[in-house]
Structure 1
Amino acid sequence: MTLNRRRLLGGGLTCAAAFATDATKAAGAVERPALPAADTFNCCAEVVGEASEDFGHIIHRRPRSVFRPSSAAEVGTAIRWAGDRGLKVAARGQGHSTYGRSMADGGVVIDMRGINTVRRVDADRIVVGAGATWREVLIAALTSGLTPPVLTNYLELSVGGTLAVGGIGGSTSRHGMQTDNVLEMDVVTGAGRELTCSPDLNPDLFDAVRGGLGQCAVITRATLRLVRAPERVRRFQLFYPDFKSLAADQRLVLEDGRFDQLQGAVLPDGTGGWRYQLDGAVYYDSDAAPDPNVLAGLSDQRGAAVISDLTYLDDAVAFAKLETLLRSNGQWSNPHPWWLTFLRGSNAERLAAGILQDLTNEDVGPFGRITYYPLLTGALRTPSVRMPDEDVAFPFNIIRFPPSNNMAKIDAMVARNRALYESVRSEGGVLYPVSAFPMTSGDWQDHFGPAWPRLRQAKKRYDPRHTLTPGYQVF
């Protein structure tokens, strides 16, 4: 495909003067036409500036240009063009990474938001563009009474973005990660080839792309598993006087399988102390009420419990209320030095309690939280998504919403994230790779563990020039 002026205008490759004809080219690369001058596009500074930031607002890396494709073919054209010139490429969905992972310093950012079409909904699956948000996927599926089995708490994330890291939700204990519920993907490799992959077709690529941090290919289309959607959700937010009693009840309800969704958190109480919360949800239809004994035997402060009853859609989009609040007070645009890990079930309480002792309300902000809850690991099958090698693991996350953008404090939090990771890793914990702190290639090799040789081989095969996703610094 020729990268001519009409194609560039249609695809939206902006700030084109950054790619002058004398740009560095890979050895032996085929000469391709020069791009038009920068003054062809009025939005250059705005678009490139947006791609220099992400939700974390900690790392700032300015690309030379941003490409807005409308098809997989255009994604392939941009990757080949950049690769021929030795330029790095990063795919960007909604820009919700927290440490520059979807950035390409001096390279090309591919804005995937234009590839967001919901192509069809079948009896057990939905086919969508990778730039679609999970909210768009859910709304389309619900027209047929269906839903993805696992939804993230925040639905404005892109399908391609979460499939690159895992995609965890309140129902992960029962259904695994979102990567465990993708049936097939269309991708463009680092060499610019359009391929389809699944458990039966190019399975090595399928496993390298799911949870592979964008190192081998850019997802352009995904076929996702669907299940029947419940009509309603009864949500129970239970509160406890201390961490020990919260953890005990969490293990009890996990073992009993009482909830369709199970999560929990340690929340700032506004006075310098903490509130300990178990968050469980039961699905039901209007003709069959939930089991009235679902809370039997629990030791929560029952008078403080918050019980809500919502439609399935209203419950799924509830996080949007917090987003609206944080946008209104300016905290949505502050830095977000988040830290996300998984602890081994056998030592989770001890490790978490020790870390909690050293945290203050100021460490998370008035609207932040420390996420802590158990999940069963048996349903998690994606090779590149690491999990402690035990039947039960605990997501343990510091979800910070700092009330200011004081960068000295933010830098200290990032450094603290790194130190906390070292401590957790030494005790058998593993990273959920959306955290805000630097990682070396050696760290990533340790992180992927048994999956590392396969990922490294896939990188050599599908992205031999190391064009894709430099922000993680995996290779």
Structure 2
Amino acid sequence: MTPDRRTLLHAGVSVTATLASATFAGQSPGSPEPQPLKTLPLDDAESRAAAAQDFGHIIQRQPRVVCKPRSSAEIADILRWARQQELKVAARGQGHATYGRAMAEDGIVMDLSALTAIHRVEPDRVVVDAGATWHAVLEATLAKGRAPPVLTNYLGLSVGGTLAVGGIGGSSSRHGLQTDQVWELDIVTGEGVELTCSSTGHAELFDAVRAGLAQCAIITRATLRLMRAPERVRRYLLHYTDLDSLTVDQRRALGDARFDQLQGAVVPDGAGGWRYQMEAGVFYDSSTPPDDKALLAGLADKHEIVSDLTFGDDANAFAKLEKLLRSNGQWFNPHPWLLTYLRGSNALAVANKVIAGLNSDDLGPFGRITYYPMFTGTCRTPLLRLPDEPVVFPFNLIRIPASPDKANADRQVARNRAVYDRIRSAGGMLYPVSALAMSPPDWMDHFGPRWPLLREAKHRHDPGGILTPGYDLF
């Protein structure tokens, strides 16, 4: 196996003095005198330009200013001021959105990168600020022999960012999403009210904030469940000639609970065709190595062990791909990704039809289609929308174009919409970090019976409608 194939697998300023005046250019005549801000807005060209971009490099929206709060109280202060001035506000963590979701045209971008504290690690939980990355969380918990049950493949994402959308990982089939691991959230509502919510206190708000696309509150701190961290992870790669045989083995492995992590992909083979592969991981301690023969029994004849690493090194393996993409410039190209869930009952048929309309140029040389089954019984977040079946298939077009060509990115975004419409008509669902335009009726359809929960929370806790305009929900 080549090194590149192995890599692909693993894959502000704050002040305490009160400002005499904190008005922004463009304040309407006769507007109420604003309360002074305690956080100095950054309106320099460099700060605003950075906040007008994201990882997707598809949408650009210039904010009026950027604010970099260092506490929940400062966030509340900014939101109260923004509501009074009728300015839109978007919270930004690590900037890894793909379609402008954390942008606010002529409004305020709230840069949470200063809120990174890991407050405490206990045997069953960790308390962290929303701006902390999952890499930092894992580093702190591993020092205590603990780990979050669900980690995203890329740990450079912020805690608040993934909790606003769901947060899926290789162990989601066993543990649900990252939003299912939350015990308590500190938040600031769109009215600038600081609250703590959980399943037993402000439960309706707790359910509206997790995977609620930051529509009614900004997460400032999270208390997350922990488990005992395994010592090592052994990873297997199994090869198939077509999607049908891959699906059969994936379902068998899922049903038998053979692996602690189960994923899979369809990747360009370099000759205009596709390679089909199952990617599986087993957690173990040094004293009890896994039985490779038993784990692989009855599965594909062609397989290999691709790595055997400490749990921490395995979790951070995607950093190798990031380094490669940064070195060749593709990290900074457009990323018109589409992430969805297919119904287990028709996933194979739908995926085959979509793949038949794609070629390797639609993905780029380092792109891939991720496709694998997961159980839904452990996914309990109300606003996380999944097909109503016991097994679903995450089906994602991870497009990494070889060039920064905007016309190509626009074409892929249009194709995303066509693919999504096909998937939706077949009963599939969107994972809402995708690069495609969604209208308010689209979102109403997406949330379905859960729409009233989000709508009422929005009206109650963000009556001015200032939060997170990039999704275009309301």
**TM-score where L is the length of structure 2:** 0.94
Partner of 1:422: 421
**What is the distance in 2 between the residues matched to 1:77 and 1:388?**
40
State the one-letter code of the partner of 1:31: P
Instruction: Please tell me whether residue 95 in structure 1 is matched to residue 98 in structure 2.
Output: no
State the one-letter code of the partner of 2:373: P
Q: Is the 8 A contact 1:191 1:463 kept in 2?
A: yes
Q: Is the 8 A contact 2:55 2:98 kept in 1?
A: yes
Kindly report structure 1 stretches of 4+ aligned residues shifted beyond 6 Å: 11-14, 34-38
The 5 A counterparts of 1:24-423 are 31-33=34-36, 44-292=44-292, 293-302=294-303, 305-423=304-422
Q: Deviations over 1:131-155 (max 9, x none)?
A: 0000000000001100000000000
Partner of 1:456: 455
How far residue 382 of structure 1 moved from its aligned partner, in angstroms, is 0.2
Describe the SS at the equivalent of 1:114.
coil
Structure 2 CA distance for partners of 1:37 and 1:73, relative to 1, 3 Å: closer
Describe the SS at the equivalent of 1:128.
strand
Partner of 1:4: none
Gapped runs of 5+ residues in structure 1? 1-6
Higher mean C-alpha deviation, range 187-196 or range 269-278: 269-278
Count of paired positions: 461
State the one-letter code of the partner of 1:440: S
Structure 2 CA distance for partners of 1:120 and 1:311, relative to 1, 3 Å: same
Q: Is the 8 A contact 2:57 2:332 kept in 1?
A: yes
**What is the distance in 1 between the residues matched to 2:414 and 2:176?**
31
**What is the distance in 1 between the residues matched to 2:16 and 2:291?**
53
Structure 2 CA distance for partners of 1:284 and 1:78, relative to 1, 3 Å: same
Q: Is the 8 A contact 2:39 2:68 kept in 1?
A: no
State the one-letter code of the partner of 1:236: Y
**What is the distance in 2 between the residues matched to 1:409 and 1:13?**
48
Describe the SS at the equivalent of 1:267.
strand
**What is the distance in 1 between the residues matched to 2:344 and 2:18?**
48
State the one-letter code of the partner of 2:470: G
**What is the distance in 1 between the residues matched to 2:336 and 2:40?**
38
Partner of 2:24: 19
**What is the distance in 2 between the residues matched to 1:34 and 1:151?**
37
How far residue 105 of structure 1 moved from its aligned partner, in angstroms, is 0.3
Describe the SS at the equivalent of 1:184.
strand
**What is the distance in 2 between the residues matched to 1:72 and 1:50?**
23
**What is the distance in 1 between the residues matched to 2:161 and 2:39?**
30
**What is the distance in 1 between the residues matched to 2:447 and 2:116?**
30
How far residue 367 of structure 1 moved from its aligned partner, in angstroms, is 0.4
**TM-score where L is the length of structure 1:** 0.94
Q: Is the 8 A contact 1:13 1:67 kept in 2?
A: no
Structure 2 CA distance for partners of 1:215 and 1:37, relative to 1, 3 Å: closer
**What is the distance in 2 between the residues matched to 1:473 and 1:300?**
48
Q: Is the 8 A contact 2:186 2:195 kept in 1?
A: yes
Q: Is the 8 A contact 1:11 1:67 kept in 2?
A: no
Describe the SS at the equivalent of 1:415.
helix
Structure 2 CA distance for partners of 1:24 and 1:68, relative to 1, 3 Å: farther
How far residue 25 of structure 1 moved from its aligned partner, in angstroms, is 8.2
Gapped runs of 5+ residues in structure 2? 1-11
How far residue 24 of structure 1 moved from its aligned partner, in angstroms, is 7.2
Structure 2 CA distance for partners of 1:134 and 1:231, relative to 1, 3 Å: same
State the one-letter code of the partner of 2:83: G
How far residue 344 of structure 1 moved from its aligned partner, in angstroms, is 0.2
How far residue 291 of structure 1 moved from its aligned partner, in angstroms, is 2.6
Describe the SS at the equivalent of 2:183.
strand
Q: Deviations over 1:416-452 (max 9, x none)?
A: 1001111100110000000000000010011111110
**What is the distance in 1 between the residues matched to 2:29 and 2:72?**
25
How far residue 300 of structure 1 moved from its aligned partner, in angstroms, is 4.1
How far residue 270 of structure 1 moved from its aligned partner, in angstroms, is 1.3
How far residue 299 of structure 1 moved from its aligned partner, in angstroms, is 2.2
Q: Deviations over 1:82-101 (max 9, x none)?
A: 11000000000000000000
**What is the distance in 1 between the residues matched to 2:273 and 2:84?**
56
Describe the SS at the equivalent of 2:113.
helix
**What is the distance in 1 between the residues matched to 2:30 and 2:49?**
25
Structure 2 CA distance for partners of 1:261 and 1:349, relative to 1, 3 Å: same
How far residue 45 of structure 1 moved from its aligned partner, in angstroms, is 1.0
How far residue 415 of structure 1 moved from its aligned partner, in angstroms, is 0.5
State the one-letter code of the partner of 2:302: Q
State the one-letter code of the partner of 1:59: I
**What is the distance in 2 between the residues matched to 1:11 and 1:401?**
43
Structure 2 CA distance for partners of 1:232 and 1:8, relative to 1, 3 Å: closer
Q: Is the 8 A contact 1:13 1:65 kept in 2?
A: no
**What is the distance in 2 between the residues matched to 1:368 and 1:131?**
28
Q: Is the 8 A contact 2:98 2:434 kept in 1?
A: yes
Q: Is the 8 A contact 1:134 1:155 kept in 2?
A: yes
Structure 2 CA distance for partners of 1:398 and 1:36, relative to 1, 3 Å: closer
Q: Deviations over 1:214-267 (max 9, x none)?
A: 000000000000000000000001111111111110001000000000000001
**What is the distance in 1 between the residues matched to 2:340 and 2:254?**
19
Partner of 1:436: 435
How far residue 35 of structure 1 moved from its aligned partner, in angstroms, is 9.9
How far residue 273 of structure 1 moved from its aligned partner, in angstroms, is 1.2
Q: Is the 8 A contact 1:149 1:175 kept in 2?
A: yes
Q: Is the 8 A contact 1:129 1:220 kept in 2?
A: yes
Q: Is the 8 A contact 1:216 1:468 kept in 2?
A: yes
How far residue 370 of structure 1 moved from its aligned partner, in angstroms, is 0.2
RMSD, matched Cα: 2.1
Identity percentage of aligned residues: 59
Describe the SS at the equivalent of 1:279.
strand
How far residue 396 of structure 1 moved from its aligned partner, in angstroms, is 0.3
**What is the distance in 1 between the residues matched to 2:278 and 2:18?**
47
